[in-house]
Amino acid sequence: MTRRVRVVPAPASLMPGDRSIVVAPDDPAEVVVEPFGDGRAVVHGPDGTDRWAYLGSANRLPDGRSVVEVVVDGWRFELELEDDHRATLRERATRARDASASTGPLEVRAAIPGRVAAVTVTHGDEIEAGATLLVVEAMKMQNELRAPRAGRVERVAIGAGETIEVGDVLVVIA
């Protein structure tokens, strides 16, 4: 049986427009990935291009998926890998759960590390989608963090002057 792998950018790498792709690595296909040891490989694409890929160590997630860092042409991706058959089963389960919980509280997390320069909302504020929640200063630049949807501020988890890391919960919107 041919193994099929579903690949999708992990949340840290995901951009609008990115889709998961399903790859059958054992297929005789026009794509050839040629290993060069130590995580290096050349990807011979169907269009005749050769690109170097640099792979990091794979980290296994508790749910069985793997996350691996891959850098190609200077672009860095964290990719989630999952057996395609398994992915289909898991998604079915997730959809069922989401259907009952789509109005739950939303945790806004840090996408970049830095220092909180200002917090512009407080507990209980009613906010519109796109409202500025706080300003993060990273590398001399001020980055405004905006509300992904409207709602009421249920919790402000950080204060001005604090240092934050990627993934830290900053604000919870109910």
Report the C-alpha gap between 13 and 78 in whole angstroms. 6
Options 1, 2, 48, 74; binder of other proteins; rule CB under 8 A: 74
Of 93, 96, 90, 98, give the one whose Cα is nearest residue 61.
90
- The interface with other proteins within residues 37-66 (CB under 8 A) comprises 37-45, 49, 51-60, 64, 66
Give me the half-sphere count of Cα atoms (radius 13 Å) on the Cβ side of residue 67. Answer: 12
Options 1, 17, 92, 102; binder of other proteins; rule CB under 8 A: 17
Position 5 contacts other proteins (CB under 8 A): yes
The count of residues interacting with other proteins (CB under 8 A) is 65
Report the C-alpha gap between 57 and 11 in whole angstroms. 18
Q: Tell the residue number behind the tokens 């041919």, with chain if given.
A: 2
Position 86 contacts other proteins (CB under 8 A): yes
* Shortest distance in whole angstroms from residue 100 CB to other proteins: 28
The CA-based angle 53-59-64, given to 5 degrees, is: 120
Please give the residue ranges that form the binding site for other proteins (CB under 8 A): 3, 5, 7, 9, 15, 17-18, 21, 23, 25-26, 28, 31-45, 49, 51-60, 64, 66, 68-77, 79, 81-83, 86, 112-115, 138-141, 143, 166
